[in-house]
Amino acid sequence: MEKGGRNGCGSVHISWLFPEILAMIFGYLDVKDKGRVAQVCVAWRDAAYNRLVWRGVEAKLHLRRANPSLFPSLVKRGVKRIQILSLRRSLRDVVTGLPNLESLNLSGCFNVTDIGLGHAFVQDLPTITMLNLSLCKQITDSSLGRIARYLKHLRVLELGGCSNVTSNGLLLCAWGLQKLNTLNLRSCRHISDQGLFHLAGLNPAAANGSLELEHLILQDCQKLTDQALKHISTGLTKLKSLNLSFCASITDTGLKFLAKMPNLCELDLRSCDNISDIGIGYLAEGGSWITSLDVSFCDRVGDQSLLHISQGLFHLKSLSMCACNISDDGIHKFVRTAHDVNTLNIGQCSEITDKGLIFVADHLKRLRSIDLYGCTKVTTVGLERVMQLSSLKSLNLGLWHEKQT
Ligand SMILES: *[C@@H]1O[C@H](CO)[C@@H](O)[C@H](O)[C@H]1NC(C)=O
Ligand SMILES: *[C@@H]1O[C@H](CO)[C@@H](O)[C@H](O)[C@H]1NC(C)=O
Ligand SMILES: *[C@@H]1O[C@H](CO)[C@@H](O)[C@H](O)[C@H]1NC(C)=O
Ligand SMILES: *[C@@H]1O[C@H](CO)[C@@H](O)[C@H](O)[C@H]1NC(C)=O
Ligand SMILES: *[C@@H]1O[C@H](CO)[C@@H](O)[C@H](O)[C@H]1NC(C)=O
Ligand SMILES: *[C@@H]1O[C@H](CO)[C@@H](O)[C@H](O)[C@H]1NC(C)=O
Ligand SMILES: CC(=O)N[C@H]1CO[C@H](CO)[C@@H](O)[C@@H]1O
Ligand SMILES: CC(=O)N[C@H]1CO[C@H](CO)[C@@H](O)[C@@H]1O
């Protein structure tokens, strides 16, 4: 950012601008430059204090020594989203210093404990809608109890990698967090089917459930079985996306339940080893509205699944089958009804040849992105046909080739 002309900010044109207009312009700068323009002169500093400038900005803080002007200056700018990079002071200071706090990101902050959160969350905090505790590994169900009690307006809760969280913690969430829209439980390996039973509100005497959930990430929750999917499909009917990747105990039977979910459009089953063509058949028979399906690294998913998909998943836009046992035959069956598909990831499918790519080029006229990384049997003949698709924006070939433009 230049300081603007010989007269500092007195440069003729800019000084004519109303402070409101300056503030709108400053709003487009990145956070560092916002700080710099505020140091140019008094007029610019005042303009830079306008809340418009800082709207949506996430302040990143190292909370070390006491700094009495920090929170008032953030409040003055209207900053409502905070990311804590390191924590040597009480979290309570943050919560009391920023009464309008909307988003608190503590991800990866290793010093976050139940005791620390216990000091911070002692009264209703109705403005906080986003809490990111991912990788705060010391957090247990006891913190979830506080969160469920005092952060009732939470819409996004990230607990990825919080491996001490159990189904009891989920019961507490299901009791207190009625407005939850997004819940990330990645690698919370102690969570069992019972936790999902509560989350889905299936025992209303104990908890009404978080029935507004639209996005649920259960990646790598190894204990979950088909029962959990039954609970989800019964109670969490607003769910739009579900991530079950690496849930090795999920089987084809579980997919029968998911096939009935009216709003489910994104399903991630990457590396679910017990899923086979039969399960994909259930999904397709259910007439599901799935637009995005990932079954990459499912060894038992193959050409038969592509046939099922062509006969039932008519709304599919994105399909990922990396390292699945598929061939040109399967592609041939799939492309006939796959008119809306814009993303196709079939990397490491070593049986695919130019023939398969020609089927793709002839039928998938909306294809924007294709992954062919490690497809060792394809040659420039097939690739050139795919590259002629006018919609194509991205072609991943990994180490072997590169898209020429
Ligand atoms: C962790 O935070 C507490 C305050 O909650 C502080 O007293 C302590 O010194 C911090 N520890 C480290 C290693 O930063
Ligand atoms: C929260 O912090 C994590 C870790 O630093 C970062 O990756 C993530 O983008 C942050 N979230 C938001 C919404 O900024
Ligand atoms: C939460 O933190 C994780 C890990 O750093 C990050 O990947 C994710 O985007 C964050 N989510 C939000 C909503 O900030
Ligand atoms: C469930 O919701 C109803 C109606 O809002 C409420 O009266 C009841 O106390 C709730 N049950 C629990 C266990 O919180
Ligand atoms: C499921 O989680 C994995 C890992 O976090 C992520 O790469 C993938 O995009 C997620 N799938 C969906 C549909 O969000
Ligand atoms: C791959 O699929 C074909 C038929 O589509 C089948 O004959 C073959 O046994 C499968 N290979 C493996 C390793 O599952
Ligand atoms: C407080 C608590 O329960 N901490 C446990 C978290 O999980 C690790 C192992 O994953 C245990 O060693 C801790 O005792
Ligand atoms: C729950 C279930 O059926 N798990 C099976 C998944 O597949 C492996 C073999 O691939 C079996 O050993 C498990 O029993």
pLDDT tens digits along 353-397? 999 999 999 999 999 999 999 999 999 999 999 999 999 999 998
Q: Which residue has the higher pLDDT, 7 or 288?
A: 288
45 sits in which H/E element? helix 42-48
Nearest atom, ligand 4, residue 208 CA: 1
Question: How far is the C-alpha of 338 from the C-alpha of 317, rounded, in Å?
Answer: 8
CA 109 to ligand 3 centroid distance, Å: 12
Nearest CA to 118 among 141, 87, 85?
141
Cβ neighbours for 89, distance < 8 A, ≥ 6 positions apart: 63, 64, 65, 66
Question: How far is the C-alpha of 202 from the C-alpha of 231, rounded, in Å?
Answer: 8
Nearest atom, ligand 4, residue 206 CA: 13
Q: Which of 63, 84, 88 to mutate to test the pocket of ligand 1 (most atoms within 8 A of CB)?
A: 88
Instruction: Give whichever of 44-58, 61-75, 123-137 has the largest mean pLDDT.
Output: 123-137
Nearest atom, ligand 1, residue 89 CA: 4
Sign of CA dihedral 39, 40, 45, 50: negative
Q: Which residue has the higher pLDDT, 193 or 46?
A: 193
Nearest CA to 151 among 168, 171, 137, 172?
172
Q: Which of 152, 171, 202, 208 to mutate to test the pocket of ligand 4 (most atoms within 8 A of CB)?
A: 208
Contact predicate 212/244, CB 8 Å: no
13 sits in which H/E element? helix 12-16
Label residue 6 exposed, middle or buried (CB < 10 Å: 0-12, 13-18, 19+). Answer: exposed
Q: Judge if the beta carbon of residue 182 lies within 6 A of ligand 5.
A: no
Nearest CA to 269 among 214, 316, 225, 321?
321
Question: How far is the C-alpha of 89 from the C-alpha of 96, rounded, in Å?
Answer: 13
CA 258 to ligand 4 centroid distance, Å: 27
Contact predicate 342/316, CB 8 Å: no
* Domains (range + CATH), the chain: 1-55 (1.20.1280), 58-250 (3.80.10.10), 251-405 (3.80.10.10)
241 sits in which H/E element? strand 241-243
Nearest atom, ligand 2, residue 108 CA: 4
Q: Considering every ligand atom, which ligand is closest to the CA of 160?
A: 3
What's the confidence (pLDDT) of residue 7?
45
CA 275 to ligand 8 centroid distance, Å: 10
The two tokens of residue 214 are 């639209």
Question: How far is the C-alpha of 274 from the C-alpha of 334, rounded, in Å?
Answer: 23
Q: pLDDT averaged over the chain? A: 90
Contact predicate 209/235, CB 8 Å: yes
State which amino acid sits at residue 308.
H
Residue 222 banded pLDDT, cuts 50, 70, 90 = very high
Query: H helices within 236-374, ranges in order?
Result: 252-258, 277-285, 303-312, 328-335, 354-363
CA 171 to ligand 4 centroid distance, Å: 14
Cβ neighbours for 244, distance < 8 A, ≥ 6 positions apart: 218, 219, 224, 229, 250, 267, 268, 269, 272
Question: How far is the C-alpha of 50 from the C-alpha of 52, rounded, in Å?
Answer: 5
Residue 47 banded pLDDT, cuts 50, 70, 90 = confident
263 CB neighbour count, 10 Å cutoff: 12
